[in-house]
Amino acid sequence: VNATTLAARIMPGVAAGLSYTFADSEYVYYIYNRKRRSLSAKLVLGADDKPKLEIEYARIVQSESDADANYKANTISARLNGTF
């Protein structure tokens, strides 16, 4: 598994992050290979000691030895995080 993550505070109360992961699996017993790539980006709005709004986008692409099992997905999520 290879992973890379970047994070930055854009201004007080606003932070952004970007993550990329690549995993390559080989199943010798089944003679089967799988490659999975995922990319996610998150935007956080709110001060550290207050409730925050988090908006995240994720894209997953999975390639299988059997092309019928290939998988692609896009996900958008929003969360409220903190003490209320």
Question: Pick from 58, 53, 54: which is nearest to 73 by CA?
Answer: 58
Instruction: Report the pLDDT value the prediction gives residue 41, as an integer from 0 to 100.
Output: 94
CA dist., res. 7 & res. 43, Å (int): 10
Instruction: Report the pLDDT value the prediction gives residue 69, as an integer from 0 to 100.
Output: 79
**How many C-beta atoms lie closer than 10 Å to residue 61's C-beta?**
14
**How many C-beta atoms lie closer than 10 Å to residue 5's C-beta?**
10
Instruction: Report the pLDDT value the prediction gives residue 84, as an integer from 0 to 100.
Output: 62
* Residue-wise pLDDT tens digits, 10-64: 988 899 999 999 988 877 766 678 888 999 999 999 887 888 899 999 998 988 8
Residue 44: Cβ-neighbour burial (10 angstroms; 0-12, 13-18, 19+): buried
Instruction: Report the pLDDT value the prediction gives residue 19, as an integer from 0 to 100.
Output: 94
Asked whether the whole model's pTM tops 0.75, one would answer: no
